[in-house]
Amino acid sequence: MTSYEDLTPLATQYHLALPDRIRDYLNDRGIPDSVVDRHLLGWNGSRITIPIPDREGIVRSVKLAKDPEDQSLSPKMLATPGARFELYGWEEILGKPDEIIVCEGEFDRLVLEAQGLHAVTSTGGAHSFRPDWAEFFHDIPNVYLCFDRDQAGQRGVDRVARLIPHAKVIDLPDEVGEGGDVTDFFVSFRQACVRSW
């Protein structure tokens, strides 16, 4: 399997194999069925699959998220062999929205979409935003950066802010905790606020 293949048929196969327990897990993470189905989130028998379309909309790689029941020390996220860093959410940028959020992580991007927001992320983590991507944000008047509340996230957001000078940084509140992310804000922190209200 090379990164030049169209992996859409494989992604569809994985999507059809998605167990109810994984769908429930995604729902609990703030990713509703409509988003799960639209993005063909799936299951390869041991990991959650996240198809990553390129700029032309062709699935060229698949990210592999750890099973929530897997207690091993295996990596949280893997990618198919031959995959390179890609911007997850090209369709959002190419749609030329008035505002967009650059976040850190595929699941965070999907949580933001579920909230009705335009969002993208690099598939390589906080430090992998490629300089050539920045030009695609120049005509989007409102660009926001919202990375995880940790050192890697801070370094990543600083780097992207230099590449997209008109971007504004969104700092997540202290209540999401050290290392907290967009998902923590919309799922855990927000639910806690509603319960305490």
pLDDT in tens, 47-98: 999 999 999 999 999 999 999 999 999 999 998 888 889 999 999 999 999 9
155/174 Cα distance (integer angstroms): 18
Cβ burial, residue 56 (10 Å; 0-12/13-18/19+): exposed
Q: In the chain, what are the domain boundaries? A: 8-79, 87-196
CATH of domain 8-79: 3.90.980.10
Assigned fold of 87-196 = Dna Topoisomerase Vi A Subunit; Chain: A, domain 2 (3.40.1360)
8-79 and 87-196 share one fold = no
| Cβ 111 vs Cβ 183: under 8 Å | yes
pTM, two decimal places: 0.91
Residue 64: which of 75, 45, 77, 46 has the closest Cα? Answer: 77
Confidence bin at 187 (pLDDT 50/70/90):
confident
pLDDT tops 90 at residue 195: no
Q: Between the CA atoms of 147, 98, 168 and 53, what dihedral angle is there, to the nearest 10 degrees?
A: 30
pLDDT tens, 34-49?
A: 999 999 999 999 999 9
Tally Cβ neighbours within 10 Å of residue 121.
26
* Residue 13 pLDDT exceeds 60: yes
pLDDT of residue 175: 87
pLDDT exceeding 70 applies to what percent of the chain? Answer: 93
